Structure 1
Amino acid sequence: MQKTALIPYARLPRAHHELHVLTSTVDVFGTAHWLLAERVPQPGADVPPFDALVVSVHPDSHVERTELNTVRARWPHLGRLPDGGFVVAASRDRRFEEARQVQVFDPLGRETSSFSVGDAIEHLLVDEAGQIWVGHFDENPAGIRRWSSTGRLTWTSDGAGIPGLFDCYALNVSGTSAWACPYTAFPLVEIRADRPVRVWANRIRGAHAVAVHGDRVAFYGGYGEERDRLALGELTEASVEQTDVGLLTLPDGSAPGRPRVVARGSRIYVQAKPYTAWGVFDLNG
């Protein structure tokens, strides 16, 4: 089976390797961010608020550091706001009062607001307008929702006509639009502010990331032995037609294992343990 190697993209500076990587992401403008702490969270224990460090590596290799005060999330999601601030969200809200699950920090690392977006966050991605897109896994029936940075609900998948939306397996946010591939039917879904939701039937099952460029589409991941699968397809009027399938590897040719994945437009960013480097596959490459 044909293999496609990721291209090295961004690396956490070695000076910060002694800190624990809580999470990492790539924002809508292509900057990679690492949320770092001194200690590893312990399962089953309540975590008191702690200070954390965000290290950002821009596409031009410029490195930026932002100290965040009193972070509360033990297993967090991270997003960068257009004004230079950050969003940190706990994937589960069971340990938090309802207004404390999501924290918004200004560019100086000070908390400015907090709110809840609901339990079971699978994906959290911020768009170029500062809207926060949240895809939930199957313990929350909310599906896909979009929030302002002040906690106002601005879009919901309720009534959007997305078939079989029980778990948002894949979410891609680029510009101010989103693409999704949800369980159980795995349709490809386009969500734009200026038109109704579009849905394409799709027979590629279990992907955890999707990239789109024009009428071409790429799906990464799958079940069991297909977890490293890279399936390519083309969009017709009503369906995705698969055109090729292979494997996506790390730059050195090895398997990613259990990677972190972020999809933005035509790009799929992949990060393997110890989560200090991002590689990229670009459908427009």
Structure 2
Amino acid sequence: MQSTPLVPYARLPRAYHGHHVAGSTVDAFGRAHWLLSEREPQGHEPYDAVVVTVDGTGHTTTDLSSVESRFSKFDALPDGGFVVANSRSPRDEERQVQVFDTLGRESWNFRVGDAIEHLLVDESGALWVGYFDEGIFGDPLSAPGLRRWSVHGEALWTYDWRATGEISDCYALNVHGTDAWACTYHLFALLEVRSGPGTTVAHRNTIRGATALAVHGDRIAFLDHARLITAELTGGEVQRLDARGLTRPDGSPIGRRRVVSRGPRIYVQAEPRTEWAVLDISG
């Protein structure tokens, strides 16, 4: 099988390589962020963290105080603040999502439901949250499978399964502008969500198991483990075109990884989580 190498995108400055990586992401504007602590948090005590942000001009840091999350979902807000969320949340845990301002102070906290698989902030500052099965079948807030929340914890949009089928697990989520695309279990339809009118369109899809996707016009790419599947959206149906391997920039296997899907790009972070690489289908 032929392979496509990723392209290097962003690198954590070497001075921070000894820190524990509690979370990392690429935001709606293409900036890479690392949520770091001096050591891996233990127990349930809050800890201090630093966010290192890397863009095309260099890097900046933001100190966060009293971070609660142990299994962090993490993203940046358009105003320079940050969102840190615990992926697992008992129903009485009100501080599951913490919003930090530009000075690193907690300004808001709320709960969005158990079993967060994906948390992506869009260009307006709203939070798109996709859930996995333990939350969908065990927590009323998570039950729809996909929701959009305000930065103050208000539900802005909730997926309605009656129109396009139930979500049992949100495998892949792509947020671009203020809209989203998702690939979900068990029907694996490709869901297109337009936030403005609040409409959802389900495109027929036979490609199963993708954990990341890129969309550019009618062109689509799915990442299924280390396999890259290209496709075309035609007449409301996803038509498979090609399959090939996806490797690190040096051609080696990716291995364990973190992925972020933003429009035509899939960002991939492999161990030891100090670098981001990218696949861009818009070229």
Q: TM-score, normalised by structure 1?
A: 0.94
RMSD: 1.2
1:51 aligns with 2:48: yes
- Which of 170, 192, 195 is the equivalent residue of 2:194? 192
1:125, 1:213 → 2: CA distance? 18
Listed as ranges, the matches of 1:105-254 within 5 Å are: 105-141=100-136, 142=143, 143-159=145-161, 161-195=163-197, 196-221=199-224, 227-254=225-252
Structure-1 residue corresponding to 2:263: 265
CA contact (8 A) 2:41 2:47 kept: no
DSSP 3-state at the match of 1:139 = helix
Q: Percent identity?
A: 57
Deviates more, 1:171-180 or 1:196-205: 196-205
Alpha-carbon offset, residue 64 of structure 1: 1.1
Alpha-carbon offset, residue 140 of structure 1: 1.6
- Which of 70, 77, 86 is the equivalent residue of 1:81? 77
Structure-2 residue corresponding to 1:224: none
* Amino acid of the structure 2 residue aligned with 1:140: G
1:27, 1:2 → 2: CA distance? 30
The superposition leaves residues 113-142 of structure 1 with CA deviations (integer Å, 9 ceiling, x where unpaired) of 100000000000000000000000011222
Unaligned runs of 5+ in 1: 222-226
1:244, 1:160 → 2: CA distance? 33
2:124, 2:195 → 1: CA distance? 12
DSSP 3-state at the match of 2:94 = helix
- Which of 93, 96, 112 is the equivalent residue of 2:89? 93
The aligned length equals 275
1:73, 1:127 → 2: CA distance? 21
DSSP 3-state at the match of 2:15 = helix
2:118, 2:257 → 1: CA distance? 14
CA contact (8 A) 1:160 1:197 kept: no
Unaligned runs of 5+ in 2: 137-142
Q: TM-score, normalised by structure 2?
A: 0.95
Alpha-carbon offset, residue 160 of structure 1: 5.9
CA contact (8 A) 1:180 1:189 kept: yes
Alpha-carbon offset, residue 159 of structure 1: 4.2
1:146, 1:118 → 2: CA distance? 12
CA contact (8 A) 2:119 2:130 kept: yes
